[in-house]
Copies of this chain bind each other. A is one copy, B any other.
Amino acid sequence: MSIRTFKIASIPGDGIGVDITEAAVEVLQKLSQTFGTFNFEFDTLDWSSQKYKQRGYYAPPGGVEGLKKYDAIYFGAVGWPDVPDHISLWQMILPIRTTLNQYANVRPTRIIPGTSSPLSACVSNSSLLDWVIVRENSEGEYSGHGGTTPSTAHAPHTVATEVSIFTRVGIERIVRFAFETALHRPRKKLTMVTKSNAQRHGMVLWDAVFYEVAKEYDGRVEYDKMLVDAMTVRMVNRPETLDTIVATNLHADILSDLAAALSGSIGIAPSSNLDPTRQFPSMFEPIHGSAPDIAGQGIANPIGAFWSATEMVRWLAGSDGNSNIVGLVDGPGVGNMVKAADCLMKAIENVTQAGVKTRDLGGQSNTKAVTSAVCVEIEK
């Protein structure tokens, strides 16, 4: 039997990114040993704020381009108090997303066993909340265009702009991806979010392109439209009416953090930055940040990292081209990897259910204890 080897670039980044990446690598190694049909080779890239301070850059020249040779990228977290955030992010995470064509950021949210939602209604019925947020990940409010004139904040007449760029191509492909995602979910529902009442150019284009693509799915996917402000109300009050959600880069950034909070903890939430064309490697990262306040204490919640690892395995399972939607690989996948992804997710859920949890989930375990418990479950 041949063993398929995947080359993974691991970028721990800053703060608890380091702790949870280490934990995820351990769990992924255990998974491949247990299954024996696939294998991961990790290259660890020290692109961190500390390195930035020493040498003036995160990724070295050509570094982001160099990621193209990997099968996938595993990312911890970036950001540290003594480097302005807009510098750290524009040097690393944002260029990776755009250079590698990772235009779809997929963020599933549900209440996993042994955890609980802050919403009273979901405490008694955790199945009320089961969403996948599909985030446009390459343009829109994160285009980076704009400027400040004069260049100081201190002139009385200083003006700055942020220019969001929306392309028909960019909207169409993410909307289609979202419809495909919805189509493969049991409830087959898609809610599209914009702010086209107040933002009358790009958001209006988004709406128009959405309804055009939607025609192709008439009768196959149920869809509706929400304004982003009203969407937060619906998420809180009627979570059971939502299934798949598609939104712009900024709106989905905000809504996915809210979704994570409503599902129990930001420490659980996974995120996949996908190039659905599979031309370039995709990137997997928990949605939480570097959490300077608890960094280096060994107490970070590794569940978001593990769940992201699950999504990576599932994505790689489709490497033979039989799926381009994360989480939707139906067949056996390369080297039994769909099974492996299911196994890892089950292991995570058994561990949280058993109460082996970090403090943010109301438990008392540290990162190591949760990691070991998941490894034990994988072997079962």
Interface residues of A (CB under 8 A from B): 79, 84-86, 88-90, 94, 118-121, 123, 141-142, 144, 146-148, 153-169, 195-205, 208-209, 212, 227-230, 232-233, 236-237, 250, 253-254, 256-258, 260-262, 266, 289
Min Cβ gap A124→B in Å is 10
Min Cβ gap A84→B in Å is 8
- Given the complex, which residues of B lie within 8 Å of A157, measured CB to CB? 167-169
**B168:A86 contact, CB within 8 angstroms:** no
Q: How many copies altogether?
A: 2
- Asked, given contacts A86-B198, A120-B118, A166-B161, whether A258 binds B237 with beta carbons under 8 Å apart, the answer is no
**A160:B204 contact, CB within 8 angstroms:** yes
Min Cβ gap A125→B in Å is 13
- Given the complex, which residues of B lie within 8 Å of A118, measured CB to CB? 119-121, 236-237
- Whole-angstrom CA separation of A253 from B204 in the bound complex: 18
Min Cβ gap A94→B in Å is 7
- Given the complex, which residues of B lie within 8 Å of A165, measured CB to CB? 159-161
**A163:B163 contact, CB within 8 angstroms:** yes
- Whole-angstrom CA separation of A84 from B205 in the bound complex: 13
- Given the complex, which residues of B lie within 8 Å of A123, measured CB to CB? 120
- Whole-angstrom CA separation of A167 from B154 in the bound complex: 11
- Given the complex, which residues of B lie within 8 Å of A148, measured CB to CB? 201-202, 204-205
- Given the complex, which residues of B lie within 8 Å of A228, measured CB to CB? 253-254
- Given the complex, which residues of B lie within 8 Å of A256, measured CB to CB? 229
- Given the complex, which residues of B lie within 8 Å of A167, measured CB to CB? 157-160
Min Cβ gap A97→B in Å is 11
- Asked, given contacts A153-B208, A236-B118, A289-B230, whether A196 binds B161 with beta carbons under 8 Å apart, the answer is no
- Asked, given contacts A121-B118, A157-B168, whether A229 binds B201 with beta carbons under 8 Å apart, the answer is no
